[in-house]
Each structure stands twice: as C-alpha cells, then as structure tokens.
A = this chain, B = another copy of it.
C-alpha cells in the first residue's frame, strides 16, 4: 500500500521519517490564497479542514492508488488567524501578540483513498503558551530564526522553544502533522497504519 504526503513541508516529511514510515511526497497545486479569501467568514477550523481536503483531493485525482494525506496548519489568537509573516514588521506583530499569552494551533488533516475517492477528515487543536518575550529577544529571534515559511512565524522545535512555557495537546500538531489524529483517520478507513512502516 502506498502512502502519499500532499505537502512540501519539510517538517511534515521529517515527522513521517522519524516514525520510519514509507511515503512519497506529491505537492498539490491548490490555490491556497483563493480558498482563504473565499472562506474569510468561516471559522479557522473550517478553513484548515477545507484546505487539507483540497490538497488531499487534488493529489488523489492524479494518482491511481494509494492513500493521500493533506494537511494545513494555522495559528489562532482571539479568533484571528496568523499566517506566515511576510517581513520583520509582521513577525514583530505576531510575537507581540503571542507574548505572555496562550494561542491555539489548528491542523486539518484529510486522508483520501485515490482509487475510490473515499476520504476522512479531522482537525486537531493544541494550546501553546508563550512567556513574556522581551524586546531584545525579539531582535535576536528576527536575526536568527527562519520565520518566513512558518505559520505564526515560529517552529516549536526551533528557536521559539525558548519562549514556550508549555503546550496542551498534541506536540506534532504544532510541528505540522498530528500523528495521533492521523492514525485515528487510518483506523476510520479500516487501514492498519503498520502497513506503511519501513520495517513492517
């Protein structure tokens, strides 16, 4: 059985690699910004659900068989979605918003069976608490962290670990792919996840 990851995120690949899973990456051609613009009245959970479905279905249509994982992650505070910061000003706004507070990280996951088009979908939520971040720490972060390609401008497993006091929920959701939720989806499809392991 073939496992296909419909995401070019190196972090999502790393999670599956760490778990010894056998998979291929096929990037979707979904216009994410268009979907975001259309769904501006929907909740963040509805948005990540729709984006994960769009990515998963787009790749499934190109494949004869296999199971296609699509995922989308956003950072949410006070019902506002924080995407990837375009520049240092946007980053500064995000860090200032997160400083001393708890925000939510939501990941939508959809798995589609390419041969039948059958799919299952769910959304995982993890709370992430930041300590107060000082001004000079923000300057240090801006200089040293690769923040541009990351929702909310941070990766929990990199420099921002220094700002995080704790999380509540799935760690891998914050990295980009909630493992436990993904296994539950395979279970819903009556698929044994161990089929995808490199060493059986």
Q: List residues of A whose CB falls within 8 A of some B CB.
A: 15, 18-20, 126, 131, 136-137, 140, 143-144, 156-159, 161-162, 164-172, 179-180, 183, 193-194, 197, 199
Contacts and interface: CB of A to CB of B under 8 A. Distances in A.
A11 to B, nearest CB: 13
Nearest to A15: B161
Number of copies: 2
B143 A161 contact: no
Given A137-B194, A143-B199, A199-B143, A161 B18 contact: yes
A166 B180 contact: yes
Given A140-B194, A168-B166, A180-B164, A20 B159 contact: yes
Given A18-B158, A194-B137, A167 B164 contact: no
5 contacts: A15-B161, A18-B158, A19-B162, A161-B171, A166-B168
